[in-house]
Structure 1
């Protein structure tokens, strides 16, 4: 699978994955079911066994903006809202049928406190997520074409799994702009 979330590659998260597989509650989601709705309190972290989720945010004008995805072997939650015990700032919705292992926030906190190695892993994961979010923010100073190219280089098969509309929303443009970008790239 392509690496959509860069935090999957550099860190060895096997001990955390094993925790979910051993102690997590397996739950199935149908396509379009919500793992979490914007405004709700998030109490669970999920480990995606199959399928993938779309993370989106509804702005004050009622427009939906796709801000990310969680694919197989990814973790899924609204981490900032959970850490601050606030209402979710995103919707997390199944893009396909999904199976997810769930752990409560309390179980996760207990895990992080078991020893120095797990604390270090948690810190490294948080730092990697921060870096990923910063890079996403910086990318909006690039052209839409460069954002599209970067996304396709990172995830070459992504366009097989997502609609043109979803890709456009993720890079912050219209579907027509993505079509023009694709056409221009074919001629280069």
Structure 2
């Protein structure tokens, strides 16, 4: 889904994609299979050849919140957990049939440490992820209508891939709020 994950916009990931194909092993996930569960240690990163993953966070009251997606030709991992060998803060689950190439934390760190060029690239990846999360934080201060319009302008086909209730959860509103916004925008 072009333009959903903005960290992909400014960097050429072709060398990293090649790394996943060369060192990785191909895996298939069926719909509802988990890549990782919240509070597990992330040991792998994957390149999505085909399919869609959903990131969810379970809060202290047991409520599930959709916090992200990974689509075809994107990475899938809890990057923070992977890089610091800490517990994953999210669940990552296939919401379609998915084909991926998986590499270990060791392989990706070894790649980042190959030379100055790959170290710089690794830093740029982290900076791009931070920028995307920061933009989402700032976006959370906008009205639900503005957040919905911005998301649909960026990703007009998202509603064909992801159910309305999932879009609502991602935006932090109810499905009814999204329905009202859609009706208002159709007028």
Could you say whether these structures have the same fold, taking a TM-score greater than 0.5 normalized by the shorter chain as the test? yes
CA RMSD of superposed structures (Å):
0.8
Alpha-carbon distance, 1:87 to partner: 1.0
How high is the TM-score relative to the length of structure 2? 0.98
Aligned length: 187
Residues 51, 71 of structure 2: 8 Å contact kept: yes
Question: 1:64 and 1:121 mapped to 2: Cα distance?
Answer: 33
Separation in 2 of the partners of 1:4 and 1:24? 25
Which residue number corresponds to residue 56 of structure 1? 56
Which 5+ residue runs of structure 1 have no aligned equivalent? Answer: none
Superposition deviation, residue 89 in structure 1: 0.5
Residues 1:20 and 2:16 are matched in the alignment: no
Structure 1 outlier segments of 4+, above 4 Å = none
Q: Compute the displacement of 1:2 (Å).
A: 2.3
SS at match of 1:92: strand
Q: Report what 1:182 is aligned to.
A: 182
CA–CA distance in structure 2, aligned partners of residues 115 and 156 of structure 1: 39
Unpaired runs of at least 5, structure 2:
none
Q: Is the 8 A contact 1:45 1:103 kept in 2?
A: yes
Matches of 1:2 and 1:157, distance apart in 2: 9
What secondary structure is seen at the aligned counterpart in 2 of 1:117?
helix
**SS at the partner of 1:102?**
strand
